Amino acid sequence: MSKVLIQFAHPTHSKSNVQKTLEKYARKVKGVTFNDLYEHYPDLFIDIKREQQLLTKHDIIIFQHPFYWYSSPPILKQWQDLVLEYNWAYGPKGHALKGKKIFNAVSCGGGRDAYTSTGYNRFPVGQYLLPFNQTAYLCRMDYLPPFVVHETYTIEDYTLKACGEQYAELLDALVNDRIDPAELAGVEYLNELFPH
Amino acid sequence: MQQSFFFQAMIYLASAVVMVPIAKRLGLGSVLGYLVAGVIIGPAGLKFIGMEGQDIMHFAEFGVVMMLFVIGLELEPSRLWRMRKSIAGLGGLQVGVTTVLVAGVGMLFGISWKEALALGMIIAMSSTAIVMQTLNEKGWLKTVAGQSSFAVLLFQDLAIIPMLALFPLLADHAGVADSHAGGGSLVSVLPAWQQAIVVLLSVSAIVLTGKYLLRPVFRMMARTALREMFTATALLLVVGIAVLMTSVGLSPALGAFLAGVVLANSEYRHELESSIDPFKGLLLGLFFISVGTSIDFSLVVSKPLLIIGLVAGLMLLKMAVLFVLGKIFEVRNAQNFIFSIGLSQIGEFAFVLLSFSVQEGVLGKEVSDTMTAVVAISMAMTPLAMMVNEKFILTRFCLVSAGLQTAQRPSDVEEEDNPVIIAGYGHFGNIVGRFLRANGVEATVLDNDSDNVDFLRRMGLKVYYGDATRYELLDIAGAGRAQMIIIAISDEEKRLELIETVKKHFPHLHMLVRSTNRNDAYDLMNAGMMHIYRETFDTSLRLGVDALKLLGHRAHEATRMAKTFFVHDERTLKHLSSIRNDEEYIHAARQHMEELEMIMQADRDAVNLNALAGWDRKAEAETA
Give the residue with greater pLDDT, A62 vs B272.
A62
| Nearest residue in B to A84, CA atom | B614
Q: How far apart are the first and last CA of chain B?
A: 81
- Residue range A18-40: average pLDDT? 95
Q: Do B563 and A43 touch (CB under 8 A)?
A: yes
- Chain B hits for A83, CB-CB cut-off 8 Å, are 614
- Residue partners of B71: CB distance under 8 A and separation at least 6: B132, B150, B257, B260
- Rounded to the nearest integer, the mean pLDDT of chain B is 79
Check residue B481 and give its pLDDT. Answer: 85
Cα–Cα distance for residue pair B359/B375, rounded to 1 Å: 19
Count CB-CB contacts under 10 A for residue A56.
11
Distance (Å) from the C-alpha of residue B441 to the closest C-alpha of chain A? 17
Check residue B175 and give its pLDDT. Answer: 44
- Chain A hits for B624, CB-CB cut-off 8 Å, are 86-87, 93
Q: Is B376 exposed, middle or buried (0-12, 13-18, 19+ CB in 10 A)?
A: buried
Q: Do A87 and B624 touch (CB under 8 A)?
A: yes
Lowest mean pLDDT across A112-126, B7-21, B182-196, B361-375: B182-196
Considering the entire predicted model, what is its pTM?
A: 0.55
Torsion (CA) B229, B234, B237, B240 in degrees, nearest 10: -80
Using CA atoms, how far residue A146 sits from A65, A184, B451, B567, in Å, is 11, 11, 63, 36
Q: Is residue B42 predicted with pLDDT exceeding 90?
A: no
Check residue A117 and give its pLDDT. Answer: 93
Residues 592-621 in B contacting A (C-alpha not used; CB under 8 Å): 608, 613-615, 617, 620-621
Check residue B409 and give its pLDDT. Answer: 32
| Domains in chain A: ranges and CATH | 4-193 (3.40.50.360)
pLDDT tier, B113 (very low <50, low <70, confident <90, very high otherwise): confident
CATH tag, B5-397: 1.20.1530.20
| Nearest residue in B to A86, CA atom | B617
Q: Is residue B244 predicted with pLDDT exceeding 50?
A: yes
Lowest mean pLDDT across A161-175, B98-112, B563-577, B602-616: B602-616
Count CB-CB contacts under 10 A for residue B283.
20
Domain boundaries, chain B: 5-397, 403-623
Q: Is residue B86 predicted with pLDDT exceeding 50?
A: yes
- Residue partners of B597: CB distance under 8 A and separation at least 6: none
Interface test with A, best of B545, B559, B566, B620 (most A CBs within 10 A): B620
pLDDT tier, A134 (very low <50, low <70, confident <90, very high otherwise): very high
Cβ-nearest to A87 among B567, B608, B620: B620
Check residue B619 and give its pLDDT. Answer: 47
- Residue partners of B16: CB distance under 8 A and separation at least 6: B33, B34, B37, B285, B289
Check residue A95 and give its pLDDT. Answer: 94
Lowest mean pLDDT across A78-82, B440-444, B476-480: B476-480
Q: Which CATH number fits domain B403-623: 3.40.50.720, 3.90.230.10, 3.40.50.850, 3.40.350.10?
A: 3.40.50.720
Q: Over the stretch B327-381, which tens digit does the pLDDT of each residue have?
A: 888 887 788 888 999 999 998 778 777 877 877 778 887 888 888 888 888 888 8
Torsion (CA) B547, B548, B553, B559 in degrees, nearest 10: -110
Q: Is residue B251 predicted with pLDDT exceeding 50?
A: yes
Q: Do B608 and A49 touch (CB under 8 A)?
A: yes
Contacts across the A-B interface (CB distance below 8 Å):
26
Count CB-CB contacts under 10 A for residue B140.
22
Check residue B390 and give its pLDDT. Answer: 79
Q: Over the stretch B388-409, which tens digit does the pLDDT of each residue have?
A: 887 777 766 654 433 333 333 3
| Nearest residue in A to B565, CA atom | A45
ipTM over 0.85: no
Handedness of CA B208, B210, B215, B216 (dihedral sign): positive
The percentage of residues in chain B with a pLDDT greater than 90, rounded to a whole number, is 17
Q: Is residue B593 predicted with pLDDT exceeding 60?
A: no
- Residue range B423-447: average pLDDT? 90
Check residue A89 and give its pLDDT. Answer: 95
Contact present, B468 and B498 (Cβ < 8 Å): yes
Check residue B458 and give its pLDDT. Answer: 77
